[in-house]
Structure 1
């Protein structure tokens, strides 16, 4: 008997269809959103993110994970009625090492300043570049180059899959922090503890080593 293949879009249409919303199947999705986010809802911002910073211009050694010290970043947003707090999630591409930073707003400069503060203790080779999407929260990216000498790259419009490492990590984080989490009750220390827990889990893609083991090995090797 041949297997029947159902495309992802068909599944999402079923889950979010008006006739089947009462089943509340959305809660079984990684993001757990009650309403589906419109596809391609973010408008291109080519003026803010110049062509020289497009992901197509990013060196191959970043794309193929052959060099250590290149990160992907994203913003985890929570229900608006719970406040403006959010979390920056950052993942080192080669080791899959995760860093989580709590923010009190979506203003770009404070978000960039916290990334600079968090990554400044690392040696330069461990924080060479960051890949983001084109959200306005990353419009202040030039501060990273000025502050810690890190280059920024940006996904194509409506193409978050181009930073797949952090997108997959966000799904893992959502298991512990769904969209209705009240961040006013979550401290930065608790986010650090969650990141440490995730970094201590063996990963098949790392030969069943943990992200912490791989990250620390690269720090020692490059130093």
Structure 2
């Protein structure tokens, strides 16, 4: 005699199992939970934590989705450490393929393929972050392969101030680690010829209104904004404080680097970091 199947009790049993499954603890060990909490407080994202933990055999592997579920379902007090509370992906655009007359400037469209595909190092991107008082600013430099970052406080956005800051930061490196710099079309970059004369490097400029073409430094700017949000008056921020942020960024694992840090990648490329005297 065959057993009878009752659909309503079966459905109720299924729904109960699904509810219990949702209640399972996402990060099972206290040690793993503490690791995640500590790294979130350092400014690491769940994706970076998940990628980095795979390199450490002391902890079991976990996915970034498990970390997000742990935060939102079991420990919502950690939401404040996430870069964004709502998941929203930025639309990506392809570079414009039209030719623009730049005069004495060289368009990014003429930048060699070894720079574009990051097959050679020593190529930098430069950008500025404006203060709330519209007077002082930050200059941010990023090396495209290692993502090594330098931050300098500027007393103004005048071109001479910006060029002096760039020369001071990059002159500590050997010539083969400062081959080119990519800028946007801001007036603070009009003294680029002075930088070329000092560092013997090549300059490239984004297409007009296409600052996203130097997206690596733009992305680092967003990380800096986590320390200094918009409306921050950089007049009240010291260079020493910026140095601490700079070191934190250079010691921060990056997904694009296989979850290594910029300092680790730079040391693999060229040895120990130079020390400013």
Looking at structure 1, the residues matched to 128 and 105 of structure 2 have their Cα atoms a distance apart, in angstroms, of 23
Looking at structure 2, the residues matched to 178 and 29 of structure 1 have their Cα atoms a distance apart, in angstroms, of 12
Looking at structure 2, the residues matched to 52 and 116 of structure 1 have their Cα atoms a distance apart, in angstroms, of 19
Query: Is 1:74 aligned to 2:127, yes or no?
Result: yes
Q: Name 2:268's counterpart in structure 1.
A: 217
- In structure 2, the residue corresponding to 1:117 is in which secondary structure? helix
Q: Name 2:204's counterpart in structure 1.
A: 153
Contact 1:144/1:151 (<8 A) preserved: no
Query: Is 1:192 aligned to 2:243, yes or no?
Result: yes
Q: Name 2:223's counterpart in structure 1.
A: 172
CA deviation vs aligned residue, 1:140-186 (integer Å, no higher than 9, x gap)? 10011101111110000011111000111111110111122121221
Cα deviation for residue 29 of structure 1 reads 8.8
The root-mean-square deviation of aligned C-alpha atoms, in Å, is: 2.0
Give TM-score, length-normalised by structure 2.
Answer: 0.60
Q: Name 2:106's counterpart in structure 1.
A: 53
Larger relative CO (CA 8 A, sep 6+): 1 or 2?
A: 1
Q: How does 1:135-146 map to 2 (within 5 A)?
A: 135-146=186-197
Contact 1:72/1:131 (<8 A) preserved: yes
Query: Is 1:116 aligned to 2:167, yes or no?
Result: yes
Contact 2:126/2:142 (<8 A) preserved: yes
Q: Name 2:29's counterpart in structure 1.
A: none
Count of residue correspondences:
176
- In structure 2, the residue corresponding to 1:53 is in which secondary structure? coil
Over 3 Å counting, the alpha-carbon distance change for 1:141 and 1:119 in structure 2 is same
Contact 2:126/2:140 (<8 A) preserved: yes
In structure 1, the gaps of 5 or more residues are: 1-27, 31-45
Q: Name 2:182's counterpart in structure 1.
A: 131
CA deviation vs aligned residue, 1:44-90 (integer Å, no higher than 9, x gap)? xx88x53651001111100000001101110001212xx51100011
Give TM-score, length-normalised by structure 1.
Answer: 0.74
Over 3 Å counting, the alpha-carbon distance change for 1:52 and 1:136 in structure 2 is closer
Looking at structure 1, the residues matched to 212 and 233 of structure 2 have their Cα atoms a distance apart, in angstroms, of 27
Contact 1:89/1:166 (<8 A) preserved: yes
Runs of 4+ in 1 over 3 A off after TM superposition: none
Q: Name 1:88's counterpart in structure 2.
A: 139
Query: Is 1:62 aligned to 2:115, yes or no?
Result: yes
Contact 1:73/1:132 (<8 A) preserved: yes
CA deviation vs aligned residue, 1:31-54 (integer Å, no higher than 9, x gap)? xxxxxxxxxxxxxxx88x536510
